Structure 1
Amino acid sequence: MFPAENLRDWRGENVVDPEGDKIGELEAVYVDTVNDEPAFATVRVGIIGRHRLVFVPLAGATVSPKAVRVRYDKKLVGNAPGIGVDGELAASDEPSVFAHYGLPYDSGFSGARRLARR
């Protein structure tokens, strides 16, 4: 996987699914607090005036000249748990983000949050 600081440089670029269909624009990167590696990104989806940020795993993501390609279908990502564009993911909502993609969830050290925005 690529370093988080490099992935943050992709903020505002398109996020596409395996077929190349645009999902939305990369908003932020969330790292796993256990290993400090990029784990999820938020993607801005919706229409003007009705945007929200949805979460998508970064495992297996690749970059091309103008897009980040994720391993998940546009419809699955579009239906993912999300937050408002000015919102913040609550620690209690983290398990649902992982569950949406069928990923195992364990809290961070001593029950701390698992995801941190970078």
Structure 2
Amino acid sequence: MIQAADIREWRTHDVVDAKGRKIGILEAVYVDTATDEPAVVTVRTGPPTRRRLVFVPLDDALLGPGYVQISYSRSLVKKAPSIGTDDILPAEQEEAIFQHYGMTYRPGANGERQLARR
């Protein structure tokens, strides 16, 4: 498992898919609020005038020299839920991230968010 302190050191490094194709630049880390373990990252993509942050789960991610390799295809990531580079993730949009990647969304017992930015 990638530790929270480790992944934060990789901000601004390339994010690549399983075939080594660059997707974008690692921007921020979101942890699972139940475990405080890194769960999702945002990846800065797009041309300079149309940049956005797409969400990518970290399951099966690998760290390499200057990059983070994720287990999802570049095409799937490019279609993932996104926010503007100056925006924050609204609570009501969290579930869409999990659905996009075929994962189960588990909010807290009282409806608390599953993700928190670190």
Classify the TM-score, shorter chain: over 0.9
Count of paired positions: 118
Amino acid of the structure 2 residue aligned with 1:60: D
CA RMSD of aligned residues (A): 0.7
Structural mapping, 1:78-89, within 5 Å: 78-89=78-89
Amino acid of the structure 2 residue aligned with 1:97: I
Gap regions ≥5 residues in structure 2: none
Structural mapping, 1:105-116, within 5 Å: 105-116=105-116
Percent sequence identity is: 53
Q: Aligned with 1:63: secondary structure? A: strand
Deviations for 1:58-88, whole angstroms, at most 9, x for unmatched residues? 0100011010000000010011000000110
Report the equivalent of 1:66: 66
Report the equivalent of 1:16: 16
The Cα shift of 1:6 comes to 1.1
Q: Does the 8 Å contact 1:34/1:109 carry over to 2? A: no
- State the alpha-carbon separation in 2 of the partners of residues 108 and 38 from structure 1: 17
- State the alpha-carbon separation in 2 of the partners of residues 27 and 8 from structure 1: 9
The Cα shift of 1:108 comes to 2.2
- State the alpha-carbon separation in 2 of the partners of residues 60 and 97 from structure 1: 17
The Cα shift of 1:109 comes to 4.0
The Cα shift of 1:9 comes to 0.6
Q: Does the 8 Å contact 1:15/1:23 carry over to 2? A: yes
The Cα shift of 1:33 comes to 0.2
Report the equivalent of 1:37: 37
- State the alpha-carbon separation in 1 of the partners of residues 90 and 108 from structure 2: 14
Report the equivalent of 2:96: 96
- State the alpha-carbon separation in 2 of the partners of residues 109 and 9 from structure 1: 32
Gap regions ≥5 residues in structure 1: none
